[in-house]
Amino acid sequence: MPTRLAFKLLKVATQDFSNKLGQGEFGSVYEGQLDNERVAVKCLDRAGQGKKDFLAEVQTIGSLHHINLVRLIGFCSEKSYRLLVFEYMPRGSLDKWIYQRDKFVPLEWHTRRKIINDIARGLSYLHEECRQRIAHLDIKPQNILLDENFNAKISDFELSKLIDRGESHVMTRMRGTPGYMAPEWLTSQITEKVDVCSFGIVVMEIISGRKNLDYSQHESSVQVIIVLQDKAKNDLLEDMIDRSSDDMSLHKEDVIETIKLARWCLQSDKNRRPAMSMVVKDMEGERSVESNLDYNFFDLSPAVTVQVGESKFSDPPVVSVLYAPR
């Protein structure tokens, strides 16, 4: 169990929560100093969350130990305060290094490749090496943090679900970030394979250097997976490579093989997506990408009954349910 910390101590450690690192859906994150160690203190905005539920969540997160998961150091549960203390990641979140080209130098391929492999290793641990399968359910660049050496670590487990080894899936209401959600969310029958799909989208963002939803592009190119679908059908995968980095072009063959791996992860049929351990093996040299792949990554035409919040509908689902901006 991580260390229980007093709210007063965390208030001092963060200089009264003065240095804000970021704002997420579930709260704000502040930089702090605790026993000569830089830390990130997350103040959760969860009105009404019971202490018992919070402590159970802390115990689950605290039991996870892997080099590619952000380490939980401590927590606070006083009165209505709910705070989590994590190791500090000096390079910040991955999205800044992909999207903000005016502020950050384009990453070389070996760095991008290492980040992709790190994410895959972290997900493989969650899915296959814990007592229960853990589906993260919100894999996106904003939830991938980088240390000083660009080692990538998965963060933000607020939406994660535990899946018993004997269960084929869990039923849960739609959650996650539009643009990164697998098509099976429309049936509410969820497995860890939703993370595999999200991982594929993140890989394409890393390789292309663009957002998965970019409304500055022509209407036909807004979604990166639709562009990938078109390029794959026409054998033009090279066009997906980020042109802001000459180094990416120098490693074109390896980059294209990784695009093919992402394509495998993006299969609309979850049973055709690889396990993350297979992805890791592929990234580490055991090339095994399935060749007979479906290029229509997300076939959303069948009518399904979907529950979103309290409402149900059985019309053919529209793509905006999964890809509308938040």
pLDDT tens, residue by residue, 245-298? 999 999 999 999 999 999 999 999 999 999 999 999 999 987 777 777 777 766
pLDDT of residue 293: 79
CA 78 to the chain's CA centroid: 30
pLDDT of residue 313: 33
- Going from N- to C-terminal start, the domains of the chain cover 3-87, 92-323
Select from 190, 199, 204, 225 the least CA-distant residue to 120: 199
**CATH architecture label of 3-87:** 2-Layer Sandwich (3.30)
Query: Average pLDDT by consecutive 10-residue portion of the chain (326 residues)?
Result: 94 97 89 96 79 88 96 94 96 93 86 98 98 95 97 94 87 85 89 97 97 86 91 94 94 96 95 96 83 65 36 36 44
% pLDDT > 90, the chain: 67
Residue 272 CB neighbours (<10 A): 15
pLDDT of residue 298: 61
Binding-site residues from annotation for ATP? 42
Binding-site residues from annotation? 42
Left if phi > 0, otherwise alpha if psi is -120 to 50, otherwise beta: which for 228?
alpha
CATH class of the region 92-323: mainly alpha
If DSSP codes are grouped into helix, strand and coil, which group holds residue 146?
strand
Same fold? 3-87, 92-323: no
Tell the burial category of 56 from Cβ atoms under 10 Å away from its Cβ (0-12, 13-18, 19+): exposed
* Calpha distance 138→123 (Å, rounded): 12
Tell the burial category of 198 from Cβ atoms under 10 Å away from its Cβ (0-12, 13-18, 19+): buried
Q: What is the pTM of this model?
A: 0.88
Active site residues: 138
* Calpha distance 324→308 (Å, rounded): 14
Q: Which two tokens stand for residue 65?
A: 């130990």
pLDDT of residue 49: 65
pLDDT of residue 299: 42
* Calpha distance 150→162 (Å, rounded): 29
pLDDT of residue 25: 78
Residues with Cβ within 8 Å of residue 12, at least 6 apart in sequence:
none
- Report whether 308 contacts 321 (CB < 8 A): yes
Q: 228-258 b/e with 16+ CB inside 10 Å = b?
A: bbebbeeeebeebbbeebeebeebeeebeeb
